[in-house]
């Protein structure tokens, strides 16, 4: 590929031919302010904020659409370019309400950032501002017309990505405003949350998140969306150990810049307060809470006297490490059948403009991982039924993560040993001999294997509830003590052990997975979604 070399802000940079000035500047760490340009959308060059001074050009050039040329001398940071931006920003503020103190975008607002860094310190406007008020676009989206900078990213997203052009610019001049067809709204678009993400200002905000938290109080934890097997890369935004919202994290192989409204909306369960917080052991005198050491010691004793095939019920919400540890324990005890249940939607919902991203039928994050680890799917599409064998098991019965909501109260009552590992109390686990609290995916480190057989890491966003421990740690230490081996010390180590036994994961380590994950070794011929 041929390249061009140019000078930006006094520094030489070489980029492939056809690169825009904006991207060329990015190469050397110079961010040219912009609103209308978005890497995944067409560039109309209408916000006039990315104008840069190109030597020899008769007037400032929009850097988002101007291609870098050999020998060009570009200034983005001083003189004309800076003056231009200062002027443009002043225009943007003519009718802007400056309501940052009550605006959700405050703290992550591009208008705020740009004006703060290079706008005028004081406004000169004396005329009254025009007022639109706010408009409910339906779904989770609320529109504050007065904050809008008319970048039309939302209009282009609906047209190019969702391919459902329900948004448009209505009227002209200072009366121009983003709107739908009268009261029609966004028509329940499954992708509408993304327009809130790409809005550079506080014009489009989430109703769900409205006035819940200030942007600067939120902690961002890289994670993977747990709501379908697509495994969109996300950031979990938390404050004071409470999840407040999920935001997509860019990954061109999986979800681009986007995620679906279904995934985005299902996070309240991570905040559930009805948690198992310490291990319980049922003995002859009823339930006791001996702490982890006591519980694991007596469980180990019971396991030693209980060899033979086990029945195990797992969940596709559990990580690869958790499921791998369960499998290892089951194998040590004499093998057996591990089953899981997972809800399935009737159909897939692809994003028309980026069909790699699809809300998959499997509404759990690790069904592919479960399949790779040899787990067997049972039950119906609403994740009920299919556990008759396990319910009537007479040997060892281990349940991991499945809340058994549809199961009878005598579930597992005939089992010689019934161990329940879960985050939440389960009615059907009253026959259990051991009830062990484990963390949710949001409280632990681990990996999911998505529908593309891509292994992706997530990190803990919340503190564990009470004494809850990751399942890989609980199960791993049991296996280790039965085998006289060292206990896995970290999720990375647990994954390492797993990878040694599963050809698809061989050679993959946490280092190699990085923040965007990596495909498993070969497309495994697994049953299920195709």
Partner 1 sequence: MSAPTHVPFRNPGWAGNTGEFDLTEADVRGTDFVGERPLDGGHESAAPSYPYMLPDKDPEAVLFEGPYRERFEKIRSRYPTARGALIPALNLAQELRGHISPETMDEVAALLGLASAEVRGTVTFYTMYNKRPVGRFLIQVCTNISCSLCKGEEVLDAFLRHTDTELGETSEDGDFTVIEVECLAACGFPVAVQINSRYYENVLPDDVSALLQRLREHGE
Nearest approach, Cβ of residue 176 and partner 1 (Å): 8
Residue number, 181 or 287, with CB nearest to partner 1: 181
**At 466, phi and psi to the nearest 5?**
55, -130
Please name the helix (run of DSSP H) or strand (run of DSSP E) that holds residue 510, with its range, or none.
helix 510-513
**Residues found near partner 1 in the complex (CB under 8 A):** 164-172, 179-182, 184
Residue number, 152 or 315, with CB nearest to partner 1: 152
As a whole number of Å, the CA-based R_g of the chain is 27
Name the E strands within 365-513: 376-377, 396-400, 417-422, 434-437, 446-449, 454-458
**Burial level of 50, CB count in 10 A (0-12/13-18/19+)?**
buried
Residue number, 179 or 328, with CB nearest to partner 1: 179
Residue number, 185 or 422, with CB nearest to partner 1: 185
Bridge partners (DSSP) of residue 337 are: 311
Nearest approach, Cβ of residue 1 and partner 1 (Å): 34
Residue number, 194 or 479, with CB nearest to partner 1: 194
Q: Give the other-Cβ count within 10 Å of 208's Cβ.
A: 18
Residue number, 124 or 172, with CB nearest to partner 1: 172
Rounded to an integer, what distance in angstroms lies between the CA atom of residue 491 and that of residue 472?
Answer: 8
Nearest approach, Cβ of residue 479 and partner 1 (Å): 59
Nearest approach, Cβ of residue 165 and partner 1 (Å): 4
Nearest approach, Cβ of residue 187 and partner 1 (Å): 10
Nearest approach, Cβ of residue 173 and partner 1 (Å): 10
Q: Give counts: helices (H), strands (E), the chain.
A: 13, 26
250's CB contacts (< 8 A; 6+ apart) are 233, 256, 257
Nearest approach, Cβ of residue 208 and partner 1 (Å): 24
Residue number, 91 or 181, with CB nearest to partner 1: 181
CA dist 247 → 34, 59, 110, 479, 500 (Å): 21, 39, 17, 37, 34
The sheet with strand 446-449 has its strands ordered as 446-449, 454-458, 518-519
């Amino acid at each position: 590929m041929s390249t061009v070399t140019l000078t930006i802000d006094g520094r030489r940079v070489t980029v492939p031919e056809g690169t825009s000035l904006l991207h060329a500047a990015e190469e050397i760490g110079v961010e040219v302010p912009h609103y209308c340009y978005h890497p995944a959308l067409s560039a109309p060059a209408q916000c006039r904020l990315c104008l840069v001074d190109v030597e020899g050009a008769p007037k400032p050039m929009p850097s988002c659409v101007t291609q870098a040329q050999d020998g060009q001398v570009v200034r983005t940071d001083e003189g004309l370019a800076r003056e231009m931006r200062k002027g443009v920003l002043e225009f943007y503020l003519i009718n802007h309400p400056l309501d940052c103190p009550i605006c959700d975008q405050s703290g992550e607002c591009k208008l705020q950032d740009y004006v703060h860094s290079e706008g005028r310190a004081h406004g000169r406007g004396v005329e009254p501002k025009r007022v639109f008020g706010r408009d409910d676009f339906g779904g989770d989206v609320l529109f504050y017309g007065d904050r809008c900078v008319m970048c039309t990213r939302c209009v282009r997203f609906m047209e190019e990505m969702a391919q459902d052009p329900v948004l448009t610019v209505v009227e002209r001049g200072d009366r121009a405003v983003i709107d739908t067809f009268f009261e029609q709204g966004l028509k329940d678009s499954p992708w509408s949350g993304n327009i809130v993400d790409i809005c550079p200002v506080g014009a489009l905000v989430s109703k769900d998140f409205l006035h819940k938290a200030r942007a600067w109080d939120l902690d961002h934890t890289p994670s993977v969306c747990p709501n379908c097997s697509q495994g969109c890369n996300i950031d979990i935004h938390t404050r004071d150990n409470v999840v407040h919202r999920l935001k997509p994290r860019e990954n061109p192989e999986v979800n681009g810049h986007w995620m679906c409204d279904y995934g985005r909306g299902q996070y309240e369960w991570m905040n559930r307060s009805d948690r198992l917080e310490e291990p319980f052991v049922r003995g002859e005198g009823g339930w006791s809470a001996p702490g982890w050491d006591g519980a694991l010691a007596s469980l180990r004793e019971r396991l030693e006297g209980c060899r033979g095939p086990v029945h195990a019920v797992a969940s596709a919400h559990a990580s690869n490490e958790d499921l791998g540890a369960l499998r290892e324990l089951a194998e040590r005890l004499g093998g057996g059948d591990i089953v899981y249940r997972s809800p399935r939607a009737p159909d897939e919902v692809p994003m028309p403009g980026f069909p790699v991203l699809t809300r998959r039928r499997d509404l759990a994050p690790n069904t592919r991982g479960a399949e790779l680890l040899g787990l067997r799917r049972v039950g119906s599409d609403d994740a009920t039924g299919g556990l008759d064998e396990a319910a009537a098991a007479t040997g060892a019965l281990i349940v991991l993560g499945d809340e058994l909501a549809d199961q009878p109260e005598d579930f597992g009552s005939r089992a010689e040993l019934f161990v329940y590992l879960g985050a939440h109390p389960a009615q059907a686990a009253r026959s259990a001999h051991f009830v062990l609290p484990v963390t949710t995916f949001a409280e632990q480190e681990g990996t999911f294997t998505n529908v593309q057989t891509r292994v992706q890491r997530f990190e803990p966003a919340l503190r564990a509830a009470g004494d809850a421990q990751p399942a890989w740690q609980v199960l791993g230490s049991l296996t280790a003590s039965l085998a006289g081996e060292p206990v896995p010390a970290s999720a990375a180590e647990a994954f390492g052990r797993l990878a040694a036994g599963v050809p698809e994961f061989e050679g993959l380590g946490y280092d190699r997975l990085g923040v965007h994950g990596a495909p498993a070794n070969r497309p495994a011929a697994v049953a299920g979604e195709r």
